[in-house]
Amino acid sequence: MKNPNTIPVGRRLRLWVRRAASCIAGAVLRLRSRPLDPGLLASVLIVAPHPDDESFGCGGTLALMAKRGVNTHVAFVTEGGGSHLSHPVLSRDDMCTRRRIESKAALVALGVNLERVTYFNAIDGTLAHLSKSVSLELVDAIAALLSRLKPAAVFLPCRSDGSSEHDAAFVLVHHAIRKAVLKPRILEYPIWSWWNPSRLIRPVLTYKAVWRVGLGDAIGLKAAAIAAYASQTHPIPPETLPSLPDGFAQMFLQREEFFLEHRDKG
DSSP string covering the chain: ---GGGS-HHHHHHHHHHHHHHHHHHHHHHHH-EE--GGG-SEEEEEESSTTHHHHHHHHHHHHHHHHT-EEEEEEEE--TTTTTT-SS--HHHHHHHHHHHHHHHHHHHT--GGGEEEEEEPTT-GGG--HHHHHHHHHHHHHHHHHH--SEEEEE-TT-S-HHHHHHHHHHHHHHHHTT---EEEEE-SHHHHSGGGGHHHHHHSSEEEEEE-TTHHHHHHHHHHH-HHHHS--TT--S-SSPTTTGGGG-SSEEEEEE-SS--
> Which pLDDT belongs to residue 14?
76
- Indicate if the pLDDT at residue 1 is higher than 60: no
* Among 48-57, 104-113, 158-167, 195-204, the least confident range: 195-204
Residue range 208-216: mean pLDDT, rounded: 96
Distances (CA, A) of 250 to 50, 107, 227: 18, 19, 11
What percentage of the chain reaches a pLDDT higher than 90?
81
Residue-wise pLDDT for 145-184, tens only, equals: 999 999 999 999 999 999 999 999 999 999 999 999 999 9
- Indicate if the pLDDT at residue 134 is higher than 80: yes
Is this model's pTM higher than 0.85 or not? yes
- Cis preceding linkage at 238, omega within 30: yes
* Among 27-41, 60-74, 218-232, the least confident range: 27-41
> Which pLDDT belongs to residue 6?
57
> Which is higher by pLDDT, 161 or 8?
161
Residue range 124-133: mean pLDDT, rounded: 96
> Which pLDDT belongs to residue 265?
47
> Which is higher by pLDDT, 144 or 6?
144
Mean per-residue pLDDT of the chain: 93
CATH class of 4-36+45-261: alpha beta
* Among 65-74, 76-85, 240-249, the least confident range: 240-249
> Which pLDDT belongs to residue 48?
98
Residue-wise pLDDT for 70-96, tens only, equals: 999 999 999 999 999 999 999 999 999
In the chain, where the domains are located: 4-36+45-261
Confidence grade of residue 136 (pLDDT, cut at 50, 70, 90): very high
Contacts of 17 (CB under 8 A, 6+ apart): none
> Which pLDDT belongs to residue 2?
47
> Which pLDDT belongs to residue 21?
84
